[in-house]
Amino acid sequence: LAQLLAKRFLKREPNFNEGLMQIAQQVIWQNNVSRQPLESFLKNIFDNPAIKPLPTHVALAKSNIPMITTNFDRLIEDAFRANNIKLSVILEDRDLIEYEQSILIKVHGCVSQIENCIISEEDYYRWMSFDSEIKNLIRAWFLMFRVIFVGYSLSDMNFRQLIIELRRKFGSSFRNCYVVTPSIDMNSYNYKFLSNVIGAQFIEMSSKDFLEQLDSK
């Protein structure tokens, strides 16, 4: 996505030290601090009806586990709908008033409310500096349940912040985090950071196979 945005709006490739949030921030600046071109582009990508849920999304719909995602798309919701399973989607604090048993928190927003998407660097700081009720619910979840985090990147700052805060408070008594990935690169920065700072344990397996194993237990 960073490459697409850089080519489309900045007319270049991303630099090696630029992530999605830095590219998105520059796109906003280039358009006179207007988010409209960026939001329109994101909507075209993530609101495409031709894109259907993958087997992993279907496996999520069959697992009765609280879910958090940073994905803007609605593929998880589509998988639940296709299987006639009720799902409560939480985007803002006011969505917490009433929800069903199956819950999906979208911490970075959704294409359905594209103006609320967390994508630029400024958006990240706004999210991290605001102590919302959604954050409080996520912290409680991490203490009480196993939670599935579905995201594009293991380097997501929002996710790391929530885990690190709880690990600092509860130390070694805080439950283990597991990272499920098709391949493990032990030399990568993400592997070293998540292993050493967050204490995550890596499982080399496809997400679909992992979810199906959970569902069978």
Q: pLDDT per residue over 98-136, tens digit each?
A: 776 789 999 999 999 999 999 999 999 999 898 899 999
Where on the phi/psi map is residue 208: left (φ > 0), alpha (ψ -120 to 50), or beta? alpha
* pTM (2 d.p.): 0.88
Q: Pairing relation of β-strands 103-106 and 67-69?
A: parallel
- Mean pLDDT over 23-41 rounds to 96
Structure confidence at residue 166 as a pLDDT band (50, 70, 90): confident
- Mean pLDDT over 40-44 rounds to 95
CA distances from 86 to 6, 60, 96, 130 (A): 38, 13, 16, 30
Higher pLDDT, 209 or 159: 209
Tokens 């296709």 sit on residue = 82
CA atoms in the 13 A half-sphere facing the CB of 118: 21
d(CA 33, CA 51): 30
- Mean pLDDT over 42-57 rounds to 92
Q: Kindly report, residue by residue over 200-215, the tens digit of the pLDDT.
A: 999 999 988 998 887 7
What does the pLDDT read at residue 57?
Answer: 93
